Structures are given as C-alpha cells and as structure tokens.
Amino acid sequence: MKPGREVVVNDITILVIDKQVFFRAGLRQALSQQSDFKILDCDPEQESLELIEVNSPDVVLLDIDFPSLSGLELSRKIARRHPSARVVILSPNHDDEELFEVIKTGAVAYLSKNTPTEELVSTISRACQGEYPINNSLIARPKVAEHVLKQFQDIVSMGKTMETITAPLTHRETQILNYIAEGNSNKQIARILGISEQTIKNHVSAILRKLNANDRAHAVALAMRNGWILAEGKPRGVSQQNLNTI
C-alpha cells in the first residue's frame, strides 16, 4: 500500500427485528465486535418498515416469529418495498417446510437462531456482496429443491402468474433478464453493464430463485408470459445450451 493512501471502510448497517429483547441484545453484543457493523434493533410490532425507510439498512436479521410465522409476511413486504435491504431469516426450528416458505419471500439467507457468530458474520458479509447464501441451503436439501421445481412446473402448466408467491425482480435483475433474453452470455452482460461476471452470476441466481425457475430458459419464458420482458427480446439464434449456462 502506498504511504498516505486513505483506506475507506464502508459500514454495514444491520437491523435486528425480533420480539425477544434478550435475543436482540445478545445479537447486538455478538455483532458489535465487528468494527464495520452498525447495529440497530426493534420489536416487529414497532414501525419496522418505517425504520428501514429512515435508516436504509444493508441487512435485516428477521425473526420468523414461530408459530405465527408473521416474519414471513414482513419479509415479503421488505422485499417489495425495500429491495436493497437483504433479509436474513432467523428461525428456532430451521426445517425443510420453513425453508420452502422462506425462499418464496425473497430472503437471501435462512439460518438457525443457534448459528455461531462467525457463520452469521460470514453470511452478512456474503449478502452484502450480492450473494445468496440461501442457495446453499437449497442445494443441501434436495426435497425442498424438488418441491420448488414442482411448484414452478405446476404454475407454468396452469398459466398462472408468479406475483403472489415470489418477490419482485429489482430493476437490475429485470435489466439482466432482458439481456439474457437477447442471447447475451454472463460475460457479455458484465461487459455491457461494467460490472464483474461474478456479480452477474449472483444476479442470475437471484432471478432463478425469485421466479422458482430451474434454468435461464425457464426464467425467460416465464418473464415473457407475464409481460415482464418484451417477446421481441427473445433470443435470436441462441442455442439452448447457451441459455442454460450460468
């Protein structure tokens, strides 16, 4: 490093939403060891959406609120109204059925409330880098992956829209989906947008997860069916193999 060069550290703002005061206090204490973490907390019955509006947190650590599961609905609202806030669902149960429901809310990660601090910190950092750690949970649970795929196939066969069961695509994700529909590879899209190919891959993973699509071709077909991208933008002279390359 050159002498005199200033190192800029971007703080990560984290909002903890949980009914249990002691749990919120414990998370604050555990995460406060990270010098770049700015931690806020609130009860879910407070104006949590307003707090997000005012503070623009990078990550929201959200209690699933078992057994009412009201945390799932709050996660959906955050995904719709504040797509830049990355929601990490924390659960005391952490089972397959919950994971399936969490995936549909647009959350980026699903962790047990007993997750070690080191893993939680790593998940927060990965989420802020545009990753979706929930994909790892899905890969590790083939029954849930099969359930997700089956629902996608049922919806497509019935001609229904995905609006009621998926989080909306962000502007960037819609933009990338249009480029995919035009037949561009990840590398080409990265060059067009001036961002890294890995970032494009992360966005593609998010698109597939939000649409419950098992490959890029499914995502494009579903987006066209629902009018999210123009039919004229469909790939021209692009092979199925290129469509499925992530």
Domain at 201, CATH number: 1.10.10.10
Residues 168 and 213 in one domain: yes
Residues 19 and 118 in one domain: yes
Section 107-116 average pLDDT: 90
Residues 28 and 120 in one domain: yes
Cross-strand pairs, 13: 38
Can you give the pTM of this predicted structure?
Answer: 0.59
Q: Which domain holds residue 238?
A: 142-243
pLDDT score, position 30 = 93
Enumerate long-range contacts of 204-207, CB under 8 Å, 24 or more apart. 204/176, 204/180, 204/246, 205/132, 205/135, 205/246, 206/132, 206/173, 207/169, 207/173, 207/176, 207/177
Cross-strand pairs, 89: 62, 110
Residues 120 and 25 in one domain: yes
Q: Would 1 be classed as within a structural domain?
A: no
CA-wise closest residue to 63 among 96, 114, 19, 97:
19
Measured CA to CA, the distance from residue 184 to residue 50 in angstroms comes to: 39
Residues 108 and 223 in one domain: no
CATH number at residue 99: 3.40.50.2300
Measured CA to CA, the distance from residue 213 to residue 148 in angstroms comes to: 8
Section 32-46 average pLDDT: 88
pLDDT digits (tens, 9 = 90+) for 47-73: 888 889 889 899 999 998 766 668 888
pLDDT digits (tens, 9 = 90+) for 143-171: 666 666 555 545 444 444 444 445 567 78
Number of structural domains (the chain) is 2
pLDDT score, position 139 = 65
Residues 29 and 130 in one domain: yes
Measured CA to CA, the distance from residue 185 to residue 76 in angstroms comes to: 30
Residues 17 and 133 in one domain: yes
